[in-house]
Structure 1
Amino acid sequence: MSKSRIFTSAFFAVFVLGELSAQELSFSGNLTAQAGAGIPSTHENKGHFLVGTTVFDSTIKSYTDDSTLFVNSQLVYDALSGLSPNGTESLVSNDGTFAFKLKEAYFDYNGGSFAIRAGRQIAAWGKADSIQIADILCPQDNSSLIASNYKESRLGIDALRLSFIQNSMQLDAYWIPFFTPSTLPLAKGNPLNPISFPKFYEGYELFSPKTWSDFDLPEKKLSNSEYALRLSSYFSKFDLSFYGFYGWEDTPFFEYEPNFTSESENADFSSLNLKGTYKRLLMFGADAAIPFGAFVFRLESAFFPGRYIQTSADYQKSCILSGSKVDFALKRNQIVGLVGFDWDAGSGWSVMAQYVADYAAGSVKELDRKAYLHLATLTLSKSLLNELLSLSVHSELDLCDFSSFIEPEVDYSLTDSITVSLIGDFYLEGRNNEKGMYGIYRDLSCVTIKGKISF
Structure 2
Amino acid sequence: MKIKKILLFLISTFTVQVSSFALDTELHGFAETRAGARTQDDPAQNQMSLGETRLQLDALTYFDAAELQIRTDFLYDGLQDDLHKIDLDRGTGFMDLRELNLLFTPIPSADVKIGRQILTWGTGDLLFINDLFPKDWNSFLLGRDEDYLKAPSDALFVSWFPAIGSFDFAYMPKFDPDRYVDGSRLSYWNGMDITGDEFTAEKRNEWFKDHEFSARFYRPVLSWEGSLYAYHGFWKSPVGYDLSANDYYFPRLNVYGASARGAVGNTLMNVEIGYYDSRENSSAFKNVPNDEVRFLSGYEREIGNELTAGFQYYVEWMQDYGGYSGTRDEFRHVLTLRLTKMAMNQNLMLSLFTFYSPSDQDTYIRPNATYTISDHWQASAYANVFLGEHDYTFFGQLQDNSNLGLSLRYSF
TM-score (norm 2): 0.86
The within-5 A match list for 1:55-74 is: 55-64=54-63, 66-74=65-73
| Letter matched to residue 354 of structure 1 | Q
Q: Give the one of 329, 341, 356 matched to 2:314.
A: 356
Q: What is aligned with 2:100? A: 105
SS in 1 for 2:286: coil
Gaps of 5+ in 1: 1-7, 259-272, 312-323
Residue 306 (str. 1) matches residue 278 (str. 2): yes
Greater Cα radius of gyration, structure 1 or 2? 1
How has the CA–CA distance of structure 1 residues 120 and 376 changed in structure 2, closer, same or farther, with 3 Å as cutoff?
Answer: same
Q: Give the one of 236, 241, 247 matched to 1:255.
A: 241
Distance, in Å, in 2 between the alignment partners of 1:435 and 1:344 is 37
SS in 2 for 1:183: coil
Q: Give the one of 229, 236, 239 matched to 2:215.
A: 229
Identity of aligned residues (%): 20
The within-5 A match list for 1:299-378 is: 299-307=271-279, 325-329=284-288, 332-362=290-320, 363-367=322-326, 369-378=328-337
How has the CA–CA distance of structure 1 residues 17 and 44 changed in structure 2, closer, same or farther, with 3 Å as cutoff?
Answer: same
Q: What is aligned with 1:183? A: 179
| Letter matched to residue 78 of structure 2 | A
Does the CA contact (< 8 Å) of 2:226 and 2:261 recur in 1? yes
Does the CA contact (< 8 Å) of 2:371 and 2:378 recur in 1? yes
Does the CA contact (< 8 Å) of 2:188 and 2:196 recur in 1? no
| Letter matched to residue 188 of structure 2 | I
How has the CA–CA distance of structure 1 residues 82 and 301 changed in structure 2, closer, same or farther, with 3 Å as cutoff?
Answer: farther
| Letter matched to residue 381 of structure 1 | T
Q: What is aligned with 1:319? A: none
How has the CA–CA distance of structure 1 residues 61 and 368 changed in structure 2, closer, same or farther, with 3 Å as cutoff?
Answer: farther
Q: What is aligned with 1:5? A: none
Does the CA contact (< 8 Å) of 2:332 and 2:360 recur in 1? no
Q: What is aligned with 1:436? A: 393
How many correspondences in the alignment?
A: 401
Distance, in Å, in 2 between the alignment partners of 1:252 and 1:339 is 27
TM-score (norm 1): 0.79
SS in 1 for 2:399: helix
Residue 140 (str. 1) matches residue 126 (str. 2): no
Residue 289 (str. 1) matches residue 265 (str. 2): no
How has the CA–CA distance of structure 1 residues 131 and 13 changed in structure 2, closer, same or farther, with 3 Å as cutoff?
Answer: same
Does the CA contact (< 8 Å) of 2:12 and 2:19 recur in 1? no
SS in 2 for 1:441: helix
Shift of 1:149: 4.5
How has the CA–CA distance of structure 1 residues 148 and 182 changed in structure 2, closer, same or farther, with 3 Å as cutoff?
Answer: same
Distance, in Å, in 2 between the alignment partners of 1:180 and 1:377 is 27
Gaps of 5+ in 2: 1-8
How has the CA–CA distance of structure 1 residues 436 and 195 changed in structure 2, closer, same or farther, with 3 Å as cutoff?
Answer: closer
Q: What is aligned with 1:14? A: 15
- The CA RMSD measured in Å over matched residues stands at 3.3
Does the CA contact (< 8 Å) of 2:181 and 2:188 recur in 1? no
| Letter matched to residue 15 of structure 2 | V
How has the CA–CA distance of structure 1 residues 337 and 106 changed in structure 2, closer, same or farther, with 3 Å as cutoff?
Answer: same
| Letter matched to residue 405 of structure 2 | T
Distance, in Å, in 1 between the alignment partners of 2:43 and 2:193 is 20
Q: What is aligned with 2:87? A: 88
